[in-house]
């Protein structure tokens, strides 16, 4: 069962070569929650933990949308509210609601270049900050907006 979760989360243990991707849709809140519970407890979340987590997530998203009615009417609200998936165009606050705090952040161009790897040429013109999340996911911001997403799995 753990292999299924890790495989679903983008962390297949039997990859023959590194996976590198640049995308407009990234990590989901469910993947991060499952990953963190696996790390902390050595098991998947149980039913009660899922229910508590979903209730909390729904409340945080609803509160955000009440405070930001323009976001509630945006075209991409489905990714935020229903899919709980990060996507280009989201704000830092939306990303943190979904994924929690990053494992690391940097606004140093040399560090962002290391995180971006082969995608640096496409990202460097706009990216002012990079956030690092589990499972090899890296999110790049220009000011308050998410502008790019990459993933690298060794």
What's the pLDDT tens digit per position in 131-141?
999 999 999 99
Q: Which contiguous run of DSSP H or E holds residue 93?
A: helix 92-99
Give the predicted TM-score (pTM) of the model: 0.86
Going 48 to 51 to 54 to 60, the CA torsion angle's sign is: negative
Digit-coded pLDDT (tens) for 57-89: 999 999 999 999 998 888 889 999 999 999 999
Q: If you average pLDDT over residues 19-45, what whole number do you get? A: 96
When pLDDT is cut at 50, 70 and 90, the band that residue 16 belongs to is: low
Sign of torsion over alpha carbons 144, 50, 73, 28: positive
Query: What does the DSSP 8-state code read for residue 91?
Result: B
* DSSP H/E element including 146: strand 145-153
Instruction: Answer yes or no: is pLDDT of 9 > 90.
Output: no
Distance CA 110, CA 94 (A): 26
Q: Tokens for 58?
A: 């729904």
DSSP string computed for 5-68? HHHHTT--TT-SS-EEEEESEEEEHHHHHHHHHHHHHSS---HHHHHHHHHHHHHHHHHHHHH-
CB half-sphere exposure, 105, CA atoms < 13 A: 9
Q: Which of 107, 95, 81, 97 is nearest to 137 (CA)?
A: 95
């Amino acid at each position: 069962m753990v292999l299924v979760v890790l495989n679903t989360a983008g962390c297949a243990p039997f990859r023959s070569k590194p996976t590198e991707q640049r995308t407009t849709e990234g990590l989901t809140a469910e993947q991060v929650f499952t990953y963190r519970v696996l790390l902390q407890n050595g098991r998947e979340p149980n039913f009660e933990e899922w229910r508590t987590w979903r209730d909390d997530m729904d409340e945080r998203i609803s509160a955000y949308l009440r405070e930001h009615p323009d976001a509630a009417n945006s075209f991409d609200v489905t990714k935020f509210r229903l899919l709980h998936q990060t996507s280009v165009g989201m704000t830092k606050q939306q990303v943190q609601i979904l994924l929690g705090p990053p494992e690391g952040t940097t606004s140093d161009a040399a560090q962002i270049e290391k995180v971006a790897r082969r995608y640096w040429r496409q990202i460097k013109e706009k990216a002012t900050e990079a956030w690092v999340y589990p499972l090899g996911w890296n999110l790049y911001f220009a000011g308050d907006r998410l502008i790019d997403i990459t993933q690298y799995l060794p």
